[in-house]
Amino acid sequence: MIDVNCYILPNFGEGAKHMEESVAIAKEAENQGVKSIIASPKQMIEEHHFFIPEVIEGVRELNNRLEKEHVKVNILTGQTVPIHGDIIEMIDADELLFLNNTKYMLMDLPENHLPQYTSKVIYDLQLRGYQPIIAHPEKYGWVEEEPNAIYELVKAGALIQVCSSSVIGAHGKRIEKLSKKLIEHNLVHLVASEAKDRKHYHYKKALDSIRKEFGHNQEYYFIENGFAVANDEPVIGNEPLRIKVKKIFGLF
């Protein structure tokens, strides 16, 4: 299995606090059957930028450490890019990392709103041959209020990744319910750990939960799509469905 979004690199803002924690995450991932992890530190936190050479060097150092520790998990390069209007220009200037040097770009949306230009960015990326992946939209309050915004993004060509902790209820029942509602309506293509410590590495637990609720095919779907992203192959997608929203009594 391949975990396509993990904050495993040490000393990258919201990631693992130190190398020992990074090794502990990798060991836990190995125990859960994960063979490769895409390290995806946030490209920018507040005003601080993490540049491509820093990520590449961080991955190299971690892989060297894992080899010495006899941990059979391969760390791949990646980055989580906040959506903004200059993404194409930054790509042209070789300032952004794609997941494992593929066409797939992992993107963050704002927590409090959906920018009006989001669909345009998705269109422009696809026009260049790139494939945007939106990370963890289930965590945002505005998605709970208007879940069909995700339907529109999927119809526009975006892929959606939910966090394994969301699926198992670690972020609360409402986020768990929203995650599974998005899965039920074919609005999720990938599940990833997003872990920054060993304690919260819930990748297999999330897949187990998905299998129990949706069946083996749904579990295999997410596993296959993780391999597809890491190997620059097409991701499987089922026809997205609109979510029925009860305006008076809330979602679902």
What tens digit of pLDDT does each residue of 173-218 get?
Answer: 999 999 999 999 999 999 999 999 999 999 999 999 999 999 999 9
Would you say residue 10 lies in a domain?
yes
pLDDT in tens, 41-91: 988 655 557 789 999 999 999 999 999 999 999 999 999 999 988 999 999
Number of domains making up the chain: 1
The set of residues, in sequence order, having a beta carbon less than 8 Å from that of 86 and lying 6+ positions away, is none
Would you say residue 242 lies in a domain?
no
First to last CA, the chain: 32
Q: Where are the beta strands (DSSP E) in 112-248?
A: 131-135, 159-163, 190-192, 245-246
CA distance 197 to 216: 28
Would you say residue 56 lies in a domain?
yes
The set of residues, in sequence order, having a beta carbon less than 8 Å from that of 243 and lying 6+ positions away, is 147, 148, 151, 181, 182, 185, 187, 251, 252
Domain holding 148: CATH number? Answer: 3.20.20.140
Q: Which tokens hold the place of 206?
A: 């999330």
Host domain of residue 208: 2-236+247-251
Would you say residue 241 lies in a domain?
no
Task: Name the pLDDT band for 247 (thresholds 50, 70, 90).
Answer: low
CA distance 250 to 244: 11
Q: Which tokens hold the place of 184?
A: 């039920």
- The predicted structure's pLDDT at residue 14: 79
CA distance 143 to 158: 15
- The predicted structure's pLDDT at residue 249: 39
DSSP state of 169: T
Give me the residue label for tokens 């200037």.
Answer: 93
Q: Where are the beta strands (DSSP E) in 13-73?
A: 36-39, 44-45, 48-49
- The predicted structure's pLDDT at residue 245: 79
